[in-house]
Chain A
Amino acid sequence: MAHWIPALVALPIFGGVVAPALPRRLAHLWALVVLVATTGIALALSLDAPASYAMGGWPAPYGIELHFDRLSSFSVVVALVTTLAVAYTLHSSGPLASREGLAVILLGTGGMTGFLVAGDFFTLFVFLEILSLAAYGMVAMSEERGAGLAAFRYLLMGASASIVILLSVGVVHTLTGSLNLVDVQQRLPDAGLPLHLAMAGFTAGFLVKAAAFPLHVWLPDAHATAPSAVSALLSGLIVKMGIVGLIRTPGVDDLLLWLGGASLLAGALLALVQTDAKRILAYSTVANIGLILVGLSVERTGAMVHMVNHAVAKAALFLAAGAFTHQAGSRVLDGVGRRMPLTTLAFALATISVIGVPPTGGFTGKWIIAVGALEAGQPVVVGVLLLSSILLALCYARILQALLFAPARSDVDEAPLSMLLPIALLALLSVGLGLVGAPLTAFLGRP
Chain B
Amino acid sequence: MTTLAGNLDYVATMLLFVIGVWTLVSDPNLIKKVMGLNIMETAVFAFIVTSGALEPPSPIPHALVLTGIVVAVSTTAVALALLLRVHREFGTLDLDELRDLW
Residues of A within 8 A of B (CB): 122, 125-126, 129, 133, 136-137, 140, 145-149, 151-152, 155-156, 159-160, 162-163, 166-167, 169-170, 173-174, 177, 179
Contacts and interface: CB of A to CB of B under 8 A. Distances in A.
Contacts of A148: 82-83, 85-86, 88-89
Contacts of B30: 152
B102 A166 contact: no
Question: Interface size class for chain B?
Answer: 20 to 34
Contacts of A151: 82
Contact of B40 (A122, A126, A149, A160): A160
Nearest to B102: A146
B67 A122 contact: yes
A72 B102 CA distance: 40
Given A163-B44, A177-B58, A155 B82 contact: yes
Contacts of A125: 64, 67-68, 71
Contact of B75 (A159, A167, A174): A159
Interface string B11-50: 0000001000100100000100100010011001001100
B54 interface: yes
B54 A174 contact: yes
A152 B86 contact: yes
Sort A-B residue pairs by CB-CB distance and give the 8 closest, nearest first.
Answer: A148-B85, A170-B48, A174-B51, A152-B82, A129-B71, A167-B44, A148-B86, A159-B75
Interface of B: 17, 21, 24, 30, 33, 37, 40-41, 44, 47-48, 51, 54, 58, 60-61, 63-64, 67-68, 71, 74-75, 78-79, 82-83, 85-86, 88-90, 98, 102
B32 to A, nearest CB: 12
10 contacts: A122-B63, A126-B71, A136-B82, A149-B82, A149-B90, A149-B102, A155-B82, A156-B24, A170-B61, A173-B58
Contact of A173 (B51, B68, B86, B90): B51
Given A148-B82, A149-B90, A173 B61 contact: yes
Contacts of B90: 149
Contact of A137 (B58, B78, B98): B78
Contacts of B78: 133, 136-137, 155
B25 to A, nearest CB: 9
A159 B85 CA distance: 19
Contacts of B71: 125-126, 129, 162
A304 B21 CA distance: 34
Contact of B86 (A122, A149, A179): A149
B64 A160 contact: no
Contacts of A177: 58
Given A148-B88, A155-B78, A170-B44, 7 more contacts: A122-B63, A136-B82, A155-B75, A156-B24, A160-B21, A166-B44, A167-B17
Contacts of B48: 166-167, 169-170, 173
**Residue of A160, A162, A166, A169 with highest tally of chain B CB at under 10 A:** A166
Contact of A140 (B44, B51, B82): B82
Nearest to A159: B75
Contacts of B85: 140, 147-148
A173 B64 contact: yes
A177 B85 CA distance: 43
